Each structure stands twice: as structure tokens, then as C-alpha cells.
Amino acid sequence: MDRTKTMADVYGVFYDFSCMLKAKVDKNNPNASKTLNRLEAIQNVCREGGVLHKRKPYVNDEAQSTALFVSYMLQIVMLLPLLALVFVYLRAN
């Protein structure tokens, strides 16, 4: 939040934070629907402010990019044996 210099930045921080909170709401909690409704209201206010497109997203932590990298590496590792099997099959014929 210390990087907010404009109202677009403030709206953006509130929008990003509400998105993070929304993902963490436990659906089994008795207050989940009330919490989700309030988070949706915050997101609507931020969207209706009309300045979200003018800011840069601040949610860009290393954990997110590391998880994406690991996901890509797992896909590659799982694809290699499949390609090897196809290659062996084609060589046999």
C-alpha cells in the first residue's frame, strides 16, 4: 500500500486485496456468504470507479511465479516420457 500515488493505485490495491481475501474464504464458515457479498461489493466499487485500467497490479509475489515455473517444469517432465514412447513406437514400425 505504500506504493499508492494516485486514486487508481488505491482502487487497484483494494481490488487486488479483495481478490486475495475472496480466494481464502472458507465456504463452510457460517459467515462466508456475508463476507463474500461484502468483498464483491468492494470489487464492484473499484470496478465502477473506472480507474482500474490506469494502474499496475501490485500482486506479483515470488511464490506465484515460482509456482508457475514448477507447474511448467512438471508438464515438461511428464511430456518427455510420452514423447519417448511415441519415438520408440515409430522406430519399431
Mean pLDDT of 79-90: 90
Q: List, in order, residues 6 or more apart from 19 with CB less than 8 Å away.
A: 43, 59
> Cβ of 74: how many Cβ atoms within 10 Å?
10
Residue showing cell 490506469: 54
0.75 exceeded by pTM: no
Q: What is the pLDDT of residues 57-78, one digit of tens each?
A: 555 556 667 777 888 888 888 8
Tally of structural domains, the chain: 2
| Shared-domain flag, residues 33 and 9 | yes
Domain that holds residue 22: 1-60
| Shared-domain flag, residues 28 and 65 | no
| Shared-domain flag, residues 4 and 37 | yes
Q: What is the pLDDT of residues 34-61, one digit of tens each?
A: 999 999 999 999 888 888 777 655 555 5
| Shared-domain flag, residues 92 and 82 | yes
